Structure 1
Amino acid sequence: MNDKSDVIETDLPGRLDRLPWGRFHTLIVAALGITWLLDGLEVTLAGSVASALKTSSVLKFSNSDVGLAGSAYIAGAVIGALGFGWLTDRLGRRKLFFITLFLYVAATAATAFSWDIASFVLFRFLTGAGIGGEYTAINSTIQEFTPARVRGWTDLAINGTFWVGAGLGAAGSIVLLHPALLPADWGWRACFLIGAALGLLILLMRMWVPESPRWLITHNRADEAKEIVEGIEAKFREHGVELPPNRVEPLRLHARAHTKLSEVFRTLFFTHRRRSLVGLTLMTAQAFFYNAIFFTYALVLTDFYHVPGDQVGWYVLPFAAGNFLGPIVLGRLFDVIGRRPMIALTYCISGVLLTISGYLFEQGLLTSTTQTLSWMIVFFFASSAASSAYLTVSETFPLEIRALAIAIFYAFGTALGGIIGPTLFGRLIDTHQRGAVFAGYLIGSGLMILAGVAAAIWGVSAERKSLEDVARPLGAVGGEEHG
């Protein structure tokens, strides 16, 4: 139901899609996409300090406690994504990416001052809530500003910066966990303060980022949207760039103050039920695959390969490099070859390679170095697969519910795959049996292959298409879309 009867006719989405890549887009990516870097930093720090938390004279964590803390972070991300996702579609992208970042900064700083398992778990939960909210506000904003022809590569490259954060976290843990620099109970605290300090800098970087013109249009604020787009175009012309003509037909749609949850439900589970199934499958598989393995990465190295806790960071660095290079190298193929074949390929290859490396681990044929190299190869492909899951759920649903759709599939997929994964693997590692851990790897492999097959059969070919062509806005005048 529309809250207003006004019909807006606009060519602004087409004008945004036809823009060449410019300084404006680079700044948007830097100011907003850095969220993934923060998440990578958080996850890596949590994994790298696992050994320090176990030997801490204050916390004295067990492997199960480490897994519980990882699950608390994911649970917070799930709740944060749902709550903030709903607010992002209702109140706007810009307001929410400030609120969620502020929550992240406050919570991760508080984590550094945890005094027991309960306080640590609480602060990790709140940190996750901030990051989960960031995903919805940031991914929807970036999608709505990025030109259609490079949307796939841009999204994957941004998601790949998670691993730049992972590298920073690993490097920071190497330095700060070294006993010669800081006492054992201060090293892990200093690690978490890194994220808080970086978050404060990002708050300043975002001050100039405008509201999404696409969001403004749907909320009957077309004049504001036009002013923003004209300002972006003016910057190109100031630098002597001749803009191509807009060949997209004007969009006609009804303005609305908000979208009712009943309409959200109908859109996701009736109008676009097949897309919903694919999105949920992709998100669940990658969440289990990543969170189960990466949250317990340090535990495998310390318990099975006897790597000292303060040396884990050295093993995370090559792993992070493989994950970062995957989306950078393969990302353009998602725009050139297409979404469906590339999503299916990266998911299935990841599953097969993890099965092989898991078998070698179970047979005791790997060293700490070759184990890291095998994971580096596996996650070169898995990183692109995981990034494509976020790309899929953020571009294949209508504008009015984009942030909430991202939140719902992130939340349900992560709840199914991410909360269970770290806890399960923590218990499997506690058995000190390689066969038990290999069984966990086989579950992750099977989920990835299943998701790849689902994408191949039912995926959406969204490459080089306007967001409004991929998913017709709910307020668009005339016609209803199914699929």
Structure 2
Amino acid sequence: MPWRWKVQGRIFLIGGLGFMFDAWDVTLNGILIPLLSKHWSLQPADAAWIGTANLIGMAVGAFAWGTIADTIGRKKAFTATLLIFSIFTVLGAFAPDIVWFCLFRFMAGFGLGGCIPVDYALVGEFTPRKQRGKVLTAMDGWWPIGAALCGFISAGLVAVFGDWRLTMLIMVLPALLVFWVRRSVPESPLFLIRAGRRAEAAAVIDGLVEATGAEPRAYSLPEPQAAPRLSPGSAWAQLRRIWQFNWKITTAAWALFFSILLVYYLSLTWMPRILIGAGFEEYKAFVTTASMAAVGLLGVVVAALLVERVGRKWILAITGPLSALTLVIVAFVVDVPSAAVFWLLVFGFVVQVAIPVLYAYVSELYPTELRGSGFGWASTFSRIGAGFGPLVFASFFWPEFGLAQSFAMAGGLVLLSVLWMAFFAPETKQRELS
């Protein structure tokens, strides 16, 4: 089928908005750490739990919702993740203390953790093969938009009203997206076929043919395979299938997710606090972090232009280690404001070339029956690193080894991951989804 903005493009926009709110919420952790440290008189190790609780919730949600999406369908799972995230983020604004706040952040993360694996499965399965690499890469353009909006809007709210709660109440907006999802997004035909719902799959395909103006032609649907039933053990069963499918590929996916996103989440979580400690005013620290995220949109554009020409593996092999190196440079020049801002912008650009290619790559490594859960488990592993990484970073590595060496250690993990990928994972450029 041809690509049409009113058909596949609408699904791209809806999935992208869900992804945008994911970025908004993760970036919000870095904004809240200095604000709540002052509000509740928190030490750095205690304040780190603000981000850790949220990201660990995302880790649990990523594997749970990946399996749920492979079981009940992409559309229902996407709707539920948005509602849970929105409700518990708003509840966090009314938390009486740090314990309740972290509990609400965990539950919000649980809902939001499902957005990325469900998003990419849904968008990827509706996108024509010729455009799939560019579209899945362009999906990550929503991330710098969400992260930048969070930084700029939060800085404005805090500067004008001086109340951190307003930065969370605004997250009622994702709940409104649910109504658009229910009206405008069909269920994935690949999922329907696999679930034995052949008549529904045929109706969706015929509707897509008509809506896109594609030339009608005869087609056949494959026989359904045994779909996993949703149960407490279904997530673990999917995990076993992921490793049985190909342990070398799964190792590559998990290692890349863990290391590259650890570097990025360290910067998002602690950069406002690092800049404030280096002498930046609170407002300027938030705006600088938001600018770091905003320039990433250019990185996504570059990634979308290069991904089908250069291939997924080469881009990751270059930009992954390079992003970690620029963060080390930031640590050395953080006391020089102009140099720190320049290298943070470089970091924001380079890392956002790597991340969208990473998401597109991992979503293409697995067959349909494992795509949601394969991506979800890789995301889970990265969220665990992103959750406990900033906590360990603030409690041990940063005070023990210093900022630059701590960032360099994270960069070493990135280098090991891309070396494993180079030898043991395939290139997926222009490969047909099974």
TM-score range, shorter chain: over 0.9
- Mapped to 2, the partners of 1:376 and 1:345 lie a distance apart of 18
Residue 271 of structure 1: CA displacement? 3.0
2:265 aligns with: 291
Query: Where does residue 391 of structure 1 map in the other structure?
Result: 360
Range that drifts further, 67-76 or 199-208: 199-208
Matches within 5 A, 1:33-44: 33-44=16-27
Could you say which residue in structure 1 is the equivalent of 2:394? 426
8 Å Cα contact 2:27-2:151 kept in structure 1:
yes
Question: Shift of the alpha carbon at 1:40?
Answer: 1.6
> What is the distance in 1 between the residues matched to 2:6 and 2:165?
37
Contact 2:137/2:300 (8 A) holds in 1: yes
The residue identity in structure 2 corresponding to 1:173 is S
Give, in angstroms, the shift of residue 97 of structure 1. 0.8
276-285 vs 130-139, greater mean Cα deviation: 130-139
Deviations 1:165-213 (A, max 9, x none): 11111111121111xx32x4xx2100011122x2123112212211101
After superposition, residues 42-441 of structure 1 pair within 5 angstroms as: 42-56=25-39, 59-178=40-159, 181-182=160-161, 184=162, 187-196=163-172, 198-207=173-182, 208-237=184-213, 243=215, 252-258=222-228, 264-265=238-239, 267-303=241-277, 305-358=278-331, 360-361=332-333, 366-415=335-384, 417-427=385-395, 431=399, 436-441=402-407
How far is 1:139 from its partner?
A: 1.6
| Alignment partner, residue 5 of structure 2 | 22
Provide Cα deviations, 1:317-369, integer angstroms capped at 9, x if missing partner. Answer: 320122221111222311122122222122132233334444x33xx6x5233
Residues 264-283 of structure 1 show CA distances to partners (whole Å, capped at 9, x for unaligned) of 35542233112101101111
- Describe the SS at the equivalent of 2:222: strand
Deviation at 1:141, TM superposition (A): 0.7
Q: How far apart, in 2, do the equivalents of 1:350 and 1:403 lie?
A: 27
Distance 1:133 1:271, change over 3 A: closer
Report the counterpart of residue 410 of structure 2 in structure 1: 444
| CA distance in structure 2 between the partners assigned to 1:38 and 1:166 by the alignment | 8
**% identical aligned pairs:** 24
The CA distance in 1 between the partners of 2:236 and 2:116, in whole Å, is 23
Query: Aligned pair in 2 of structure 1 residues 231, 310: CA closer, same or farther (>3 Å)?
Result: same
- 1:217 Cα deviation after fit: 0.4
1:401 deviates by: 2.0
Structure 2 regions of 5+ residues with no counterpart?
none
Rounded Cα–Cα distance in structure 2 between residues aligned with 1:398 and 1:294: 32
What SS class does the counterpart of residue 465 from structure 1 fall into?
A: coil
C-alpha distance 296-357 of structure 1, shift in aligned 2 (>3 A): closer
Q: 1:346 to 1:79 in 2, by over 3 A?
A: same
The whole-number CA distance in structure 2 between the counterparts of 1:458 and 1:356 is: 31
Greater C-alpha radius of gyration: 1
Partner amino acid, structure 2, of 1:201 = L
Q: Do the aligned partners of residues 407 and 255 (structure 1) sit closer, same or farther apart at CA in structure 2, a change above 3 Å counting?
A: same
Mapped to 2, the partners of 1:20 and 1:162 lie a distance apart of 23
Letter in 1 for 2:306: L
| Residues 85, 407 of structure 1: 8 Å contact kept | yes
Query: Distance between the aligned counterparts of 1:232 and 1:54, measured in 2?
Result: 51
CA distance in 2, matches of 1:253, 1:382: 42
Which residue does 1:478 correspond to in 2? none
Partner Cα distance (1:261, 1:356) in 2: 41
Contact 1:350 1:448 in 2 (8 A): no
> What is the CA deviation profile of residues 123-165 of structure 1, one whole-angstrom value per residue up to 9, with x for unaligned ones?
1101111111222222211111111122222122212311111
Aligned to 1:4: none
**Deviation readout 1:391-422 (Å, 9 max, x if unpaired):** 2322211211221111211112321x212221
The 3-state SS of whatever aligns with 2:264 is helix
Partners in 1 of 2:406 and 2:280 — Cα distance? 22
TM-score (structure 2 length as normaliser): 0.92
Change in CA separation of 1:341 and 1:21 when aligned onto 2, cut-off 3 Å: farther
Amino acid at match of 2:390: P
Letter of the 1:206 partner, please give it: V
Runs of 5+ in structure 1 lacking a partner?
1-17, 469-483
The one-character-per-residue Cα deviations of 1:226-271 (angstroms, maximum 9, x if unpaired) are 111211221222xxxx54989xx96634432427668635542233
User: How many residues get paired?
Assistant: 429
Per-residue displacement from partner, 1:14-34 (whole Å, max 9, x unpaired)? xxxx42343212211111121
Q: Tell me by how many angstroms 1:302 deviates.
A: 0.8
Over residues 285-317 of structure 1, what are the superposed CA-to-partner deviations in whole Å (9 max), with x where a residue is unaligned?
1221112221011110111x2222233222123
